[in-house]
Amino acid sequence: MSQRKHQPFALLVARAAPLAVGLLAPSVARAQNSSLFQQDVPAATGAPLSLSNSSFLFQPAEPPRVIKLNDLITIIVDEKSQMSNEGNLQRRKQGQLNATLQDWIQLDGLNIKKAPQAQGQPEINGTLQGQFQARSNLETRDGLKLRIQSRVVDIRPNGHLVLEAHQRFKINEDDWERSISGIVDPRDVLPNNTVVSENIAELSIFKKERGEVRDGYRRGWLFYLLDRYGMF
3-state helix, strand, coil in the chain (%, to 5): 20, 45, 35
Give the strand order in the sheet containing 201-210.
194-196, 72-100, 123-155, 161-171, 174-184, 201-210
Most confident of 68-77, 165-174, 221-230: 68-77
User: pLDDT, tens digit, for every residue of 193-225?
Assistant: 999 999 999 999 988 888 777 676 677 777 777
Compute the distance between CA of residue 205 and CA of residue 46 in angstroms, rounded to an integer.
57
Provide the pLDDT for residue 184.
94
User: pLDDT, tens digit, for every residue of 128-142?
Assistant: 788 877 777 877 777
pTM for this prediction = 0.51
Provide the pLDDT for residue 2.
46
Provide the pLDDT for residue 1.
46
Compute the distance between CA of residue 213 and CA of residue 56 in angstroms, rounded to an integer.
62
Tell me the CB-side half-sphere exposure of residue 64, using CA atoms within 13 A: 8
User: pLDDT, tens digit, for every residue of 49-74?
Assistant: 777 777 778 888 777 788 999 999 99
Provide the pLDDT for residue 16.
55
Compute the distance between CA of residue 51 and CA of residue 39 in angstroms, rounded to an integer.
12
When the pLDDT of each residue in the chain is averaged and rounded to a whole number, the result is 77
Q: What are phi and psi of 15, to 5 degrees?
A: -75, -30
pLDDT top residue among 112 and 47: 112
